[in-house]
A and B are shown apart, each in its own frame.
Chain A
Amino acid sequence: SAVISQKPSRDICQRGTSLTIQCQVDSQVTMMFWYRQQPGQSLTLIATANQGSEATYESGFVIDKFPISRPNLTFSTLTVSNMSPEDSSIYLCSVERNYGYTFGSGTRLTVV
């Protein structure tokens, strides 16, 4: 299975600022996924990022708030923009290969 390096592992940010989360995969993958896990909740898919095309966002998530880059087949970033305390969550990236899903270690974001 793929190995994912996700950073930062945690951050405390001021409201109104933005944070960019990076995921680096040790091998080329077609699809990368970004999830949000709010405190005490399950994982919710934010968007699917394919290299060379616009990310596909799930209902309730918009590109202006969560812009995603996918410059190549091993790397992706998710930006949480204009943050508010409601954005405090764990953000995880994930990749799929042959129906096996690997997750990064997560970014624990606290907005104050």
Chain B
Amino acid sequence: AQKVTQAQTEISVVEKEDVTLDCVYETRDTTYYLFWYKQPPSGELVFLIRRNSFDEQNEISGRYSWNFQKSTSSFNFTITASQVVDSAVYFCALSEASGGSNYKLTFGKGTLLTVNP
């Protein structure tokens, strides 16, 4: 069975600090996809990134970067020079590609990030 763990329930930082959100996953599949979503107070889910299990290259998009390490089953997310607008709940999610789980997404419990001015 697939599982996603986000051990950090809440993180509070001051603007311009760097912050890393942790995500650890469990799966029996060799082919799977990992995701990060942002949920601002308005409630919609904003897609941030998708990574497949065969691509371990780190990715950078502006102030956002992701570190995927299969050896530790982790897919951590770093925000550099955080801004107040980054305040949101961030979810890590996993989808197995075998189809046995019906391609459903399994979400972690989320990390509430508060960036203070």
Contacts and interface: CB of A to CB of B under 8 A. Distances in A.
Contacts of A105: 43-44
A90 B105 contact: no
Grouping DSSP codes into helix (H, G, I), strand (E, B) and loop, the A interface class, with mixed when no group exceeds half, is: strand
Interface residues of B, number: 22
Contact of A99 (B43, B44, B102, B103): B103
B47 A101 contact: yes
Grouping DSSP codes into helix (H, G, I), strand (E, B) and loop, the B interface class, with mixed when no group exceeds half, is: strand
A42 B91 contact: yes
Contacts of A94: 105
A94 B91 CA distance: 15
Nearest to B4: A42
Nearest to A102: B47
Interface of A: 1, 31, 33, 41-45, 48, 56, 90, 92, 94, 96, 99-103, 105-106, 108
25 contacts: A31-B103, A33-B104, A33-B105, A41-B109, A42-B91, A42-B108, A42-B109, A43-B105, A43-B107, A44-B107, A45-B106, A48-B104, A92-B45, A96-B103, A99-B33, A99-B95, A99-B103, A100-B47, A101-B35, A101-B95, A102-B47, A103-B37, A103-B45, A103-B47, A106-B45
